Amino acid sequence: MERCYAPLCGGSVPRSSRARSVLRHEEFQQGGSALRESAGHYRRWREEGDHTKISGGERQLVLLARAIAQQPQLLCMDEPTASLDFGNQVLVMNRIRTLSAAGITVMMTTHAPSHAFYCADQTAIMGRDGVFFVGQTNDTITEERLTKLYGVTAKIVGYEHIPETRTCVPLPPQAHQ
């Protein structure tokens, strides 16, 4: 089963911000120990008792844990790494890869091309001007398309010891003149 990387929002989380912040202990537990332990906020979340005082990044992790607890066949996420520090971004992307390997179809949006390289088989690129490209991630994300989409020059690079690893590096203006 292929993983998909495409813009789509949705889910079963209630719309009110208060409802998003308040989770039952059982719901949080079901979210998976990997996220709970790595996030480091679970103990504080339980001890403080006021579950409306979590950061945006903590809220992202809680919402992802809550979605995983529902054991979906399709998981749709709108910028799942927004508001997360680098370590938690990697944690979430690793979890996305694990879910996909387990047969769950994952659809997500992001503004970070490197995240697509990290965890997506398929990519859809959409620009404000209506330009739309869909295909295998390594074929779809090109330096030319990134320049057109974001208005900056970027270089796609890999790590020689891990051939399947690719990332996107923005170049300073003087580097490409």
Per-residue pLDDT tens over the stretch 12-32: 333 333 333 344 444 444 444
Per-residue model confidence as pLDDT tens digits over 30-66: 444 445 444 455 556 566 666 667 777 777 888 888 8
Q: What is the pLDDT of residue 123?
A: 92
Average of per-residue pLDDT across 138-144: 94
In this structure, are 62 and 118 located in the same domain?
A: no
Is the pTM higher than 0.95? The answer reads no
What is the Cα–Cα distance from 105 to 5, expressed in whole angstroms? 9
In this structure, are 116 and 41 located in the same domain?
A: no
Instruction: Please report whether residue 7 resides in a domain.
Output: no
In this structure, are 31 and 98 located in the same domain?
A: yes
89 CB-near residues (< 8 Å, 6+ apart): 81, 115
Q: What is the largest CA-CA distance in the chain?
A: 56
Domain boundary among 65, 80, 109: 109
In this structure, are 44 and 100 located in the same domain?
A: yes
In this structure, are 83 and 121 located in the same domain?
A: no
Instruction: Please report whether residue 90 resides in a domain.
Output: yes
Domain that holds residue 123: 112-176
In this structure, are 83 and 126 located in the same domain?
A: no
Would the pLDDT of 87 be above 70?
Answer: yes
If DSSP codes are grouped into helix, strand and coil, which group holds residue 31? Answer: coil
Closest of 79, 70, 74, 137 to residue 106, by C-alpha = 74
What is the Cα–Cα distance from 15 to 89, expressed in whole angstroms? 24
Name the pLDDT band for 154 (thresholds 50, 70, 90): very high
In this structure, are 150 and 122 located in the same domain?
A: yes
Domain boundary among 50, 78, 109: 109
Q: Using the structure block, give the residue that is written with the tokens 């992307």.
A: 93
Instruction: Please report whether residue 3 resides in a domain.
Output: no
CA distances (Å), 21 to each of 26, 29, 100, 149, in order?
14, 15, 27, 34
Q: Is 85 exposed, middle or buried (0-12, 13-18, 19+ CB in 10 A)?
A: exposed
Q: What is the pLDDT of residue 70?
A: 86
